[in-house]
Structure 1
């Protein structure tokens, strides 16, 4: 289980470092191309959840995050011997904590990754970890289901 905790902490650290870098070097509501036409680094504040849903519900998201951390922690302790569940849950934990820290400390989440080739909301490293964690968990569940048939 310690490897999964280290992974979660690495996600949080990477997420917070990149958010700090963006917030201190890029003016708010601006972006800089990284690969022209493909991806830019932006600096926006997200006062809601994914796609800015439920804007202004800071305490709701803080409570949901605390519940999520408890549930993820419980399942991580229970399923840590299965690498798929351990990896997926560790990514979920790191992503949840990364955005939780922003909401608690700042009242909003710093988002910075902008895909220029598609009309898609700007997101951050924690969001990537959450998405990847869900994908890993779904694939692990499908694999387990096939093994049990």
Structure 2
């Protein structure tokens, strides 16, 4: 049940933040929060992470549906002793659904978190997907080392 709450919470935070980005950032394009370090910058991303595979909307829709069902299946079939892995999968699923909603509704994903130390702009959903993937990868590596 906690996993469902996490998925829904991530979707809500993601969609609300993107709503405000569309309303307040789209007209001005960028707002410096910490000059030359962190800006809120409105971007319509028609690709995947780091802007790859531009204009492949149907590809992303199909892949997200397949990955979403796989994540749900893993979460349902996983023993309760792997609660932390279920929570990590919920983070990834919540992020994937957040971006999926944008693709279905808008035809693109709204990105707005702009750290000037690298050239990629991302959003809340992306953050949960990446953090979840890093945590999952770390757990897998640690388990492999302990065997």
Regarding TM over 0.5, the answer is: yes
**Which residue pairs with 1:103 in the alignment?**
103
What root-mean-square deviation, in Å, do the aligned CA atoms of Structure 1 and Structure 2 show? 1.4
When the two structures are aligned, how many residues end up with a matched partner? 146
Q: Which aligned pairs between 1:1-149 and structure 2 lie closer than 5 A?
A: 2-27=1-26, 30-79=29-78, 81=80, 82-116=82-116, 118-147=117-146, 149=147
**8 Å contact from structure 1 (residues 84, 137) kept in 2:** no
CA deviation map 1:84-142 (0-9, x unaligned): 311210111001000000000000000000002x2321000000000011011112212
CA deviation map 1:40-90 (0-9, x unaligned): 111110011112111111111001000010000011112262133112101
What residue ranges of structure 1 are gaps of 5+ in the alignment?
A: none
What residue ranges of structure 2 are gaps of 5+ in the alignment?
A: none
- Which 10-residue stretch deviates more, 134-143 or 120-129? 134-143
- Runs of 4+ displaced beyond 6 Å: none
SS in structure 2 opposite 1:114?
A: strand
